[in-house]
A and B are shown apart, each in its own frame.
Chain A
Amino acid sequence: MTYQPDLRFPHEWSADCPPADAIPAEGTVFRICEQESLTVQDFRTYLEMGKLPDAPPCRRAGLSVFRKRSDAEHRARLQPGFGRIVAKGTLLNEHGVTKQTGRPSHTTWWIAEGVDRVSIFSPDGEIT
């Protein structure tokens, strides 16, 4: 694993999570939220919500973000039922690790313990 050794992740995660090829979190990411006033609910993983217990555990432990704003906008148009507010955040190494896990800029972010997710993000416009 190439990320900072002092990063700590929830102890209930398996030994191989985050994956070995994940890299230190860094750079701008986007996510779609329902309202301008962002809440912790907007940044919960499937694992935290208890969704799909039979799905791959490490994937459930990560949070999806996009590297490109246009991909976030695309998601808002693809699934309008999940909000139209673009939240923009800048990840730093201490926020955890990331890995590109889908196309084209879909990235999974494994969040280090103690990170205040809401404070990292701010609303960056609404998809009209």
Chain B
Amino acid sequence: MNVSLFVTCLTDTFYPRAAIATVKVLEHLGCHVDFPAEQTCCGQPMFNNGFEDESRELARQMVRVLEHSDYVVTPSGSCAAMIREHYEELLSDDHAYKHAISGLVAKTYEFVEFLVNVLRVDLKQMDVSWPGKVTYHYSCHLRGIGVTDEAVQLMEQIDGLQYVPMEKMDQCCGFGGTFAVKYPQISGAIVNDKVDCIAQTGAQTVISNDAGCTMNISGACRRQGQDAKFKTLAEVIAEGMGLLE
């Protein structure tokens, strides 16, 4: 199976280990992974801020870069949602792209979703072991693409991993891109709520599969003196498979 990695700009620069883990796990599962180096950003920041023309340009570019891929897998729910939820409407007047857009929308997956729903992975059969107590941040954009308990399903298949659900699991972390910068007092109150919920679980590791959420929550944990490690599920699986130290 040929898979193109859409790394996303935040993961590329802030969380490369998450992307490395994604590549290693996919390869371990028998996928051939390529990385189209011309990719940059899906255009979500511009789209969310109302800069339609600018986001349209970036969307076209993504469609071109990923046109020939069989599958596109990304370690970010929010960027997957940008492509799947918004590209068709955003480029609806662009007849030249119509076919390529619907193709891209149909073949783009968030990493965890791809593992569960396309590769139909059962980690129990693969001897994946990761001893430790974790909690999981359910990022909002997974809601948009209809992903609900796939990550929990996978976590439960990992030997030794003890998953503690956090309170108000489906409450946003308050990131929201530029929202966090424009309305710091609101965003700060929301993320501090999340920090409290994490503290209550007693888990030392937070699994968070969206780079934006991770930047926000980990930054707030650090400010509040709440000691927590952040990892993506891809990293946990890669570590559990012995692919990453």
A binds B: no
